[in-house]
Structure 1
Amino acid sequence: MFLTSLCAIILALFQISAVTALRFEVPALLQPTSQCVREFVSDGQLVVVTINTDGQSGDGQILSVKISGADGSEYRRKDNVVGSFKVAFTAKSSSSFDICFENKIQPGFRSNGRDLKRQIELDVEAGAAARDWNAIQAAEKLKPAEVELRKTDEMIDDIASELEYLVRREERLRDTNESTNRRVRNFGILIIVVLLSVGMYQIRYMRNYFRSKHIL
């Protein structure tokens, strides 16, 4: 009973972190600016991005979608997106990626004072949650219980990989902090030595000056 509850909690937490659903509007402009959504994925993780939009071709709006990595690499780009649009790719590294939308008014289109905009529904699935388990079940002839066990196992592996990455990142940050502290300490010691040296030089210089003037 306890193990079942624990697995349910782990699955719930993983699904919250692995699946992101957003709904928002993108207004159509003559010179549109990008509206971006940023997500984080692990190295080698499968990512499925599903975009659902309203509107239709010829309604005076040209919606463009661009999915790119933090390093500038482009996973997918599509212009004049209408209806449903799905993209699947494998993350090249443990980093963030951006999903950017631009909605441009079609040249020569008359809106008659109406505010043109597109409704966007964005779903992002990563890791085990992004896999097509129905196809896997049919291909490998798995029972429903076997599918759930395999899904749970892969989700736990994804969580473990995420935790390992967080540990490595924390170690890098700790090393960076320690290196910065050493540099600040050494710089502080250098400043103190320089100030003491300058002070002693000034004292010696003033003593010699006063002696040369027969003041001392």
Structure 2
Amino acid sequence: MFSNVYSPHSLFLGLILSLTLQATAIKFVLPANKYPLAKCIWNTAHENELVIVTANVGPGAKQRVDIEIVDSSPNKNVYLSKKDIKQETRLAITTHAEGEVGVCFKNHLDKSATNDQEGKVSRIVDLDVDIGADAVDYNAIANQESLSGLETEMRKLEGVVQSIVDELSYLKTREERFSNTNTSTNQRVQSFAWFTILALAALGAWQILHLRAYFKRKYLID
């Protein structure tokens, strides 16, 4: 009766959904310093993908929390930079490149604070990062377009399917890139192997000729 509950198709769909619908929720303590280091939370995101960042910063006297959203691409894109965020802050970006998106925080301690307070005072940050289809506010879309409950669910399903298609396309591109790299590496290894064989053969022939000439000079051979 329950034979279809854990079918391969269901497991595959569940795996794909776990890859495509990315949502990260984390709560952490952010110590304050006069010259603080950035604390970054990284998440994988594809190119042209919607990312919604919701940061809820707890209270803290003589402290200023700054937020910056960057990525790990070679261009090191900086999407947003905002100083002195308080309570709940909601930010939205669209990625420009394939890679990881980092949400970075710095907690600055006011200069009027004593040195003893450095690293001992802090603020609590509650961070929620939604990526891809999970970042779309379907309730707002339903209200704006006057969609019924069924139509809203269909719109959600459409977003999930599109995310799956994008993920599979990315995996295919990545597989092709790895395959090309593997083929190129094999060709280089083969070329190096042939070069090594020819070099050893040439060196062996040169040694034979050199020894033959040496023995002739010493009248050891005719």
TM-score under structure 1 length normalisation: 0.88
**For residues 121-153 of structure 1, what are the alpha-carbon distances to aligned partners after superposition, in whole Å with 9 as ceiling and x for unaligned?**
111112222112121111111111210111012
Q: How does 1:110-129 map to 2 (within 5 A)?
A: 110=114, 113=117, 115-129=120-134
1:1-216 equivalence runs, <5 A:
10=13, 14=17, 17-56=21-60, 59-69=61-71, 70=73, 71-110=75-114, 113=117, 115-216=120-221
Larger mean CA deviation between 178-187 and 110-119 belongs to 110-119
TM value normalised by structure 2? 0.86
Distance 1:163 1:177 in 2: 21
Change (3 A) 1:74 1:105: same
Give the conservation status (yes or no) of the 8 Å contact 2:50–2:92: yes
Write the letter of the residue equivalent to 1:14: L
More divergent stretch after superposition (111-120 vs 180-189): 111-120
Aligned length in residues: 213
Task: Note the C-alpha offset of 1:36.
Answer: 1.1
CA contact (8 A) 2:65 2:84 kept: yes
Quote the Cα distance in structure 1 between the aligned partners of 2:205 and 2:18. 67
Deviation sequence 1:167-202 (CA, Å, 0-9, x none): 111110111111011101211210121122112101
Unmatched segments (≥5 aa) in structure 1: none
Gaps of 5+ in 2: none
Query: Percent of aligned positions with the same letter in both sequences?
Result: 31
| Structure 2: distance between partners of 1:206 and 1:76 | 73
